[in-house]
């Protein structure tokens, strides 16, 4: 992972000092709430339904065991509301009612404290830290080279890459050095701190798009030209929200040296012409959609002027690439040799694991190939009954740190799907890792399956949400606890958002669930056929709505009806395994699924 | 540092001032004989004037005064300075002592700007 330089370290400390100065001026009444708000947002501090929320940046998801322990400390010591606030919040959330589960116990809100939450943009969020302690938390983060810079606000947000960057077998080139060069360029950029709206950039270096590039304000795919030169295919103007749009390719090949210059041109034109009169039309996707070729022409002209008039001062030099690339240090991995008692113990652990039928499933779902044939990439599942998707308690964060220390050169990565991966695991260590992770409850072999769903914090925490996400997620998780059934349903992406802001990426789910508000009650729209851009899902595409929204109680039943339809219609695939859900949906079309979903409505059945 | 003008100060004499609205392309306006360009911040979160200032200072090499007016607070002064503003009219109720501290805080920034056009990596 990236090693901080001395400059990086003092910069993050200066940022923490600056934040404390701002917080103190706000507390002294020198800054109004309205003046302080954009400043705290640019450091990741929101104020949510009941308490502030902090979003900590984890660039490219890469995190050390030291940092995981610092996050655990923050969870334990700071993510703690006072008793009265928690009781009031719990009381209000319970009043929203329970989600019944057919054949199971109804699910209501159970607010937790003392934990971190992994987000789809590989950040970590906390929900209960009092604002008056916020500057102390920023100091603590700075002490382990972390911060919340531009994790919110109308800024260039924390930049993401696909989770296997630098270790994927199918990689064109490692996207992280370029992402880091972009991150440094965008950090406290003086011209682009108050854009019309938030701005998200993602990079993908593999052949498969695992970074959802089509859904980003700017999506950058590393490619090689026919001459073998490295560059980017540039997409601009993708985004979810109320109007889901897939980004437009504006450059088929941009030499890597021009990356900063071209992105500067794209964002400058947006800063000048993006709409500021309507929050819902302020994203760059609306500008690109409205202006089409005129936007592209304007960007190309601005790019030309930066090069010809300004002299392209941000042209990336080979020396700068080399400098940043060298900051991504691959850990030295000595070959594993075991002797004597150690070897005998290892044999016992291996024999134990291999006798466990779950172990085979875990190897199948949670273990992936690594660029280094001696190594494996292992996913720790943070999708399990009784805890919200992507939530990790202080204790679990510490356990993850221990697993990283023991098995993965003290490094882990947060994934877009809200899990943790261990990127440097020796193939020989798999049985021992499995045994330890299973004891910690992090070895559920459900990666890529139905219960490995994405969900935003929703109406239990977020003030933007129209409806709760977490009880819906918990109800569906409870209904699909039988691993035989989950394995039979196979690869599927279920994504849940509590509002149209789409933090739960419902548009990109094979099945998407979106919370909507009607007459102050919680309702849910179901979409089918969305895609993030992976090989499994196909090119990025928003799902289609199956019909009028459903009540919370109907949602688990509707999901089951849709899955039953799949089970009836699927065909054996060429590899001997069944056709996937998304492949069946693409082959037969929406209609039978739509009919099944709408047929599961309670009201319809009563009136029929 | 940026020159701070107290709110409500009388206008300077003999100055040819161009008041440039946010929706005007800074690359198109004639600048001959202009001593000062005023760029307005209707709200401090409306960032169009940052681009306008940078284009005027860096691309067009305007050498006169570029002044920020409107919703101008302490916490935007450093970035205003960096994109090429040379003076700013602080809104009511701001303490100039708070401003000075902000200019001493960061020893350098990663990216180039209108004052120091080369990024940090090209200065190393």
Q: Return all residues near A332 (Cβ < 8 A) that are at least 6 apart.
A: none
How far is it, in rounded angstroms, from Cα A324 to Cα A330?
13
Here the ipTM equals: 0.98
B65 found inside a domain: yes
Q: Is the pTM of this model over 0.80?
A: yes
B41 found inside a domain: yes
- Partner A contacted by B97 (CB < 8 A): no
A323 interaction partners in chain B (CB closer than 8 Å):
121
B68 found inside a domain: yes
Angle among Cα A160, A162, A165 to the nearest 5 degrees reads: 105
Residue of A nearest to B117 (CA): A313
Residue of B nearest to A23 (CA): B75
Specify the number of domains making up chain B: 1
Tell me what the mean pLDDT of segment B60-81 comes to: 97
pLDDT in the model for residue B13: 81
Angle among Cα A320, A323, A329 to the nearest 5 degrees reads: 145
DSSP output for A136-153: HHHHHHHHTT---TTSSS
How far is it, in rounded angstroms, from Cα A287 to Cα A349?
58
Asked whether the beta carbons of residue A30 and residue B98 sit closer than 8 angstroms, the reply is: yes
pLDDT level of residue A85 (50, 70, 90 thresholds)? very high
* Cβ-contact B77, B102 below 8 angstroms: yes
Q: Domain containing B46: what range?
A: 33-123
Sequence length of chain B is 124
DSSP output for A421-467: EEEEEEGGGHHHHHHHHHHTT---S-TTSTTS-EE--GGGT-SS-SS
pLDDT, tens digit (0-9, with 9 covering 90-100), for A294-344: 999 999 999 999 999 999 999 999 999 999 999 999 998 877 788 888 889
B94 found inside a domain: yes
B22 found inside a domain: no
Give the number of beta-carbon pairs within 8 Å between A and B: 105
Q: Return all residues near A489 (Cβ < 8 A) that are at least 6 apart.
A: A449, A450, A480, A563, A566, A567, A581
Domains in chain A (CATH in brackets) are 6-143 (no CATH), 167-327 (3.30.413.10), 340-439 (3.90.480.20), 454-607 (3.30.413.10)
Asked whether the beta carbons of residue A191 and residue B120 sit closer than 8 angstroms, the reply is: no
B5 found inside a domain: no
pLDDT(A21) > 80: yes
Residue of A nearest to B23 (CA): A272
Q: Which residues pair with A126 in a beta bridge?
A: A54
pLDDT in the model for residue A607: 47
Shortest distance between the Cα of B14 and any Cα of chain A, in A, equals 31
The residue among A400 and B13 whose pLDDT is bigger is A400
Tell me what the mean pLDDT of segment A543-563 comes to: 97
How far is it, in rounded angstroms, from Cα A236 to Cα A259?
13
How far is it, in rounded angstroms, from Cα A317 to Cα A192?
23
Strands A511-518 and A521-528: antiparallel
Q: Which of A525, A545, A538 is nearest to A594 (CA)?
A: A545
B114 found inside a domain: yes
* Cβ-contact A120, A505 below 8 angstroms: yes
B52 found inside a domain: yes
pLDDT in the model for residue A333: 80
pLDDT in the model for residue A53: 97
pLDDT(A117) > 70: yes
CA A495 to chain centre: 11
């Amino acid at each position: 992972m990236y090693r901080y330089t001395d400059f990086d370290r003092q910069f993050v400390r200066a940022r923490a000092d600056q934040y404390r100065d701002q917080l103190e001026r706000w507390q002294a009444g020198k800054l109004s709430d309205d003046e302080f708000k954009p400043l705290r947002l640019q450091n990741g501090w929101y104020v949510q339904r009941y308490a502030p929320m902090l979003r900590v940046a984890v660039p490219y998801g890469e995190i050390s065991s030291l940092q995981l322990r610092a996050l655990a400390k923050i969870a334990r010591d700071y993510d703690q509301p006072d008793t009265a606030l928690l009781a009031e919040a719990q009381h209000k959330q319970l009043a929203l009612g329970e989600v019944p589960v057919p054949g199971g116990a109804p699910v209501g809100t159970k607010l937790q404290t003392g934990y971190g939450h992994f987000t789809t943009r590989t950040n970590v969020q906390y929900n209960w830290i009092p604002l008056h302690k916020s500057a102390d938390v920023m100091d603590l983060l700075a002490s382990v080279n972390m911060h919340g810079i531009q994790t919110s606000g109308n800024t260039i947000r924390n930049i993401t890459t696909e989770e296997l960057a630098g270790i994927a077998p199918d990689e064109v080139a490692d996207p992280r050095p370029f992402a880091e060069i972009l991150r440094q360029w965008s950090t406290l950029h003086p011209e682009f701190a108050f854009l019309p709206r938030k701005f998200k950039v993602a990079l993908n270096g593999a052949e498969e798009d695992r970074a959802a590039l089509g859904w980003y304000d700017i999506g950058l795919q590393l490619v090689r030209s026919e001459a073998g030169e490295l560059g980017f295919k540039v997409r601009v103007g993708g985004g979810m929200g109320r109007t889901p749009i897939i980004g437009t390719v504006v450059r088929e090949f941009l030499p890597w040296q021009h990356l900063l210059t071209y992105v500067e041109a794209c964002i400058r034109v947006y800063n000048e012409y993006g709409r500021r009169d309507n929050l819902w039309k302020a994203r760059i996707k609306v500008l690109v959609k409205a202006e089409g070729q005129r936007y592209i022409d304007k960007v190309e002209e601005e790019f030309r002027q930066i090069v010809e008039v300004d002299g392209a001062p941000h042209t990336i030099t080979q020396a700068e690439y080399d400098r940043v690339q060298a900051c991504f240090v691959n850990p030295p991995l000595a070959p594993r040799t075991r002797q004597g008692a150690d070897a005998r113990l290892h044999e016992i652990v291996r024999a134990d694991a291999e006798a466990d039928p779950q172990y085979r499933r875990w190897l199948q779902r949670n273990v992936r190939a690594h660029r280094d044939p001696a190594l494996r990439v292992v996913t720790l599942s943070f999708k399990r009954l009784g805890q919200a998707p992507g939530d990790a308690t202080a204790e679990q964060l510490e356990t993850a740190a221990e697993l990283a220390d023991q098995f993965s050169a003290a490094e882990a990565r947060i994934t877009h799907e809200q899990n943790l991966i261990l990127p440097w695991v020796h193939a020989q260590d798999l049985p021992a890792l499995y045994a330890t992770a299973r004891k910690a409850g992090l070895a559920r072999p459900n990666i890529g399956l139905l219960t490995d769903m994405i969900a935003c914090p929703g109406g239990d925490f977020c003030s933007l949400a129209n409806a709760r996400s977490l009880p819906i997620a918990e109800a569906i998780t409870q209904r699909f606890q039988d691993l035989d059934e989950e394995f039979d349903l196979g690869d599927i992406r279920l994504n849940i958002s509590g509002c149209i802001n789409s933090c739960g990426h419902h548009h990109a789910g094979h099945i998407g669930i979106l919370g909507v508000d009607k007459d102050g009650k919680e309702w849910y729209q179901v979409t089918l056929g969305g895609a993030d851009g992976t090989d499994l899902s196909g090119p990025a595409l928003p799902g289609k709505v199956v019909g009028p929204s459903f009540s919370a109680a109907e949602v688990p039943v509707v999901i089951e009806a849709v899955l039953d339809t799949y089970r009836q219609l699927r065909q054996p695939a060429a590899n001997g395994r069944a056709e996937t859900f998304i492949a069946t949906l693409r082959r037969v079309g929406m209609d039978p699924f739509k009919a099944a979903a709408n047929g599961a409505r309670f009201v319809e059945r009563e009136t029929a | 540092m940026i020159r701070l003008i107290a709110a409500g100060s009388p206008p300077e004499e003999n100055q040819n001032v161009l008041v440039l609205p946010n929706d005007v392309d800074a690359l198109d306006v004639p600048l001959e004989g202009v001593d000062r360009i005023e760029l307005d911040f209707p709200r401090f979160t409306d960032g169009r004037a940052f681009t306008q200032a940078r284009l005027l200072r860096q691309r067009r090499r305007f050498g006169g005064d570029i002044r920020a007016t409107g919703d101008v607070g302490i916490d935007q002064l450093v970035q205003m300075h960096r994109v090429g503003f040379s003076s700013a009219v602080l809104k009511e109720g701001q303490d100039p002592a708070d401003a000075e501290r902000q200019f001493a805080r960061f020893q350098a920034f990663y990216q180039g700007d209108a004052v120091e056009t080369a990024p940090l990596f090209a200065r190393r």
